[in-house]
Chains A and B, each alone.
Chain A
Amino acid sequence: MHKHLLLGVEAIGQGAIDGGMSGVYAYPGTPSTEITEYIQENELAIERQLHSKWSANEKTAYETALGMSYAGKRTMACMKHVGLNVAADAFINSAITGVNGGFVLTVADDPSMHSSQNEQDSRYYGQFAMIPVLEPSNQQEAYDMAREGFALSEETGVPVMLRITTRLAHSRAGVEYKPVLDENQLSMPQDPRQFVLLPAIARRRYKSLLDKQASFVKLSEASKYNQYTDAADKSMGIVCCGISYNYLMENYPDEACPYPVLKISQYPLPEKQLKKMEAECDSILVLEEGYPLVEEQLKGYFAGGTPIKGRLDGTLPRDGELNPDLVAKALGKETYVGIQVPSVVANRPPALCQGCGHQDAYEAMNEVLADYGKGRVFSDIGCYTLGALPPYETINSCVDMGASITMAKGAADAGLIPAVAVIGDSTFAHSGITGLLDAVNEKSNITVVISDNESVSMTGGQDSSAYGKIESICEGLGVDPAHIHVIVPLKKNHAELVKLFREELEYEGVSVIIPRRECIQRASRRKRNISRHANH
């Protein structure tokens, strides 16, 4: 059968389309972004007019997907791990409302923090919400689980989480497609009160969620994705979750693994298989990408009995992603290292592109802030976060989406005046607006710089949902129009930028400065596309 070379994230996009999904809702975030991009460009998705436009943030994405599920259609929400923090309120409650049309939440975790502030493990969220979690070990399973996840959600009556990590998200392999399923017809929930979480109804629905838990375990025990492979050497049993299964197999290229292996790709944990392993093996080694979730559970299950090895007892590192070498060491195998890296090799951290407008904004800010002293610039998530590094070193914080404006307000409340916020256009739309409203209501003495490159750039130049609306949003929130300024960040405007920053830092109240120039990467892509179309 023909195989298609797909990234793990693309396999999920294709699987969702083939599974009869009617709409995807997402906010860009590495390593989840390409799922939605894939659907946006897919021919069948375009022909079926599947929804695939970006949402303003993960919470709006999740809630909109829930609305589509309410109306009986199959839907997917996609986000990176920290995005689920933003959507957590809707997510946890949606386990209690349950679904009508099948609902798959794809969450992409980023162990080792390649492009993130933390490496939180979304499987805890799945456990917290008490819903089934799928964790593919390869691209084919990613495709299959996305395609079949809607049916699992409809069967169980709750949203299903599809959890992946960076390595699977951004690795390519051949994937075989399966037949394309029809979309669901529009249909109302059978119980008109299903989605009304008034306390009396919520209590009843919560009990029904609790009642389902045993059946979720049964589903895991019977799942084709959870495989028990027996072997002769019972001195150790190995539990491997998701992609860690591959790292185990890599260590036995020409032979079968001598120990019994339980591959887990569907949660809650399959109790029957785990109990068998505990009864038959002298110890259990747990391989999992992320936090030691399974290891902790097993330590509880088998308290005082079978020794459990993994990230908690030092057999594997407590943090960071796994790889075949770390797993080899945990198995007591010899590992090989080539030649050491010569000392002449220097680090090459990411940096703002040459000619990026954020650079001009930071140069002007640095000149003005030199008169006030360091440590008063609160920033946010985006390319401009690189302004924390040399040569600029302008900003002093990066915590979560939108925290620049609110932290600047808090610091100003404490007496740090002037306090400055630097936020991008898309991050402002995502989570900056409500913080600015707080500041306006209290006439806080802060200067907000919305460094506008008309794009969600760090994730590859997606459309920003506040495009063309930023001044009117600020005015609508009550910022004095005399203190909303738009300026083009270019070298030739440096003196003007400096003058503007100086004036607004001195103004006692909320001011907004919008340095606006299109992201140079997006501009060059746009020009290339125009010339390509012109050639044909």
Chain B
Amino acid sequence: MKSNIILAGVGGQGILSIAAALGTAALENNLYLKQAETHGMSQRGGAVVSHMRISDKPIASDLIQMGTADLILSVEPMESLRYLPFLSAKGYLVTNTTPFVNIPNYPEYEKVMEEIHKLPRFIAIDADRIAKEAGNARASNMVMLGAASPFIDIDFAKLEDGIREVFARKGEQIVEINLKAIRAGRQFSEENK
């Protein structure tokens, strides 16, 4: 198996918590992993991206080649579009629909959604609402991971284990909320893909 995943968002939205859960699950499965992150200046509210590569064979490059990403997983709708050149012909785009508006020239929301709906394969999910229903609006990133999970070749139970490990030090209640969130996200994708 081999998964090339682009994680996208805005500095401060915490895309690295998704990467951590996914990375932990990959290691648990004895898979190879490389994951390039954005640190530094862009973390101050700028566009951030992480290249995540998981494979059962050793991985050479830390960066994904253009046109070879199996999945773009974005926690913000406009950011999901920024990395389309990386998406492979068969790739899926999974994005949160809640915009993060911190620039004066943020485009009209309808135009952003229009571009997303032009894609052959996408999931657009209101992760904030689903996270709130699951018990905590801050679990929206785990809703997103759940929504992306049908397109990642890792056992869903291992992803749940990844969440248990990543959130363990925050207590059982937080673990449960995040597990509920990832399951809700997965269910949404199963029903809408």
Contact = CB atoms under 8 A, between A and B. Distances in A.
Given A172-B23, A350-B46, A339 B41 contact: no
A350 B11 contact: yes
Contact of B84 (A338, A458, A535): A338
Contact of B69 (A34, A338, A535): A338
A68 to B, nearest CB: 28
Given A170-B36, A246-B61, A340-B84, A346 B66 contact: no
A325 interface: yes
Contact of B38 (A114, A246, A247, A249): A114
A172 B86 CA distance: 20
Given A337-B85, A339-B87, A344-B81, A350 B38 contact: no
Given A168-B62, A246-B61, A348-B103, A339 B85 contact: yes
Contacts of B170: 532
A292 interface: no
B32 A171 contact: no
A311 B182 CA distance: 46
Nearest to B19: A172
A3 B27 contact: yes
Interface in A1-40: 3, 5, 7, 30-31, 33-34
B118 to A, nearest CB: 8
B110 to A, nearest CB: 10
Contacts of A377: none
A339 B65 contact: no
Nearest to A342: B115
Interface in B59-107: 59-69, 78-79, 81-82, 84-89, 91, 102-107
B44 A383 contact: yes
B45 A335 contact: no
Contacts of B79: 348
Number of contact residues on A: which range applies? 35 or more
Contacts of A339: 84-85, 87, 119
Contacts of B24: 5
Interface string B16-45: 000000011001000011111111111111
Contacts of B78: 344-346, 348
A516 interface: no
Nearest to A323: B63
A215 interface: no
Contacts of A253: 60
Interface in A78-122: 114-115
A253 B55 CA distance: 12
Contact of A115 (B27, B41, B68): B41
Give the size category of B's interface with A: 35 or more
A341 B60 contact: no
Interface string A343-355: 0111111111100
B40 A171 contact: no
Given A114-B38, A348-B102, A336 B62 contact: no
B47 interface: yes
A460 B16 CA distance: 15
Contacts of A349: 46, 103
A5 B33 contact: yes
B35 A171 contact: yes
Nearest to A139: B34
Contacts of A248: 60
Contact of A342 (B35, B84, B89, B91): B84
A252 B111 CA distance: 40
B33 A459 contact: no
A423 B61 CA distance: 39
B15 to A, nearest CB: 13
B152 interface: no
A338 B67 contact: yes
Contacts of A351: 44-46, 102-103
A463 interface: no
Nearest to B68: A336
Nearest to B112: A344
B38 A341 contact: no
B30 to A, nearest CB: 9
Contact of A335 (B10, B43, B66, B69): B66
Most buried by A among B10, B24, B34, B61: B61
A341 B82 contact: yes
A320 interface: no
Contact of A386 (B32, B44, B59, B67): B44
A171 B85 CA distance: 21
Given A323-B61, A323-B65, 19 more contacts: A114-B38, A114-B41, A167-B62, A170-B36, A170-B38, A172-B23, A172-B34, A247-B61, A250-B65, A335-B67, A339-B87, A341-B85, A348-B45, A349-B103, A351-B46, A386-B44, A390-B104, A460-B39, A532-B170
* 6 nearest A-B residue pairs (beta carbon): A336-B67, A115-B40, A30-B40, A350-B46, A249-B60, A250-B61
Interface of A: 3, 5, 7, 30-31, 33-34, 114-115, 167-168, 170-174, 243, 246-250, 253, 323-325, 328, 335-342, 344-353, 383, 386, 390-391, 458-460, 532, 535
7 contacts: A115-B39, A173-B59, A174-B32, A325-B66, A340-B85, A342-B84, A349-B103
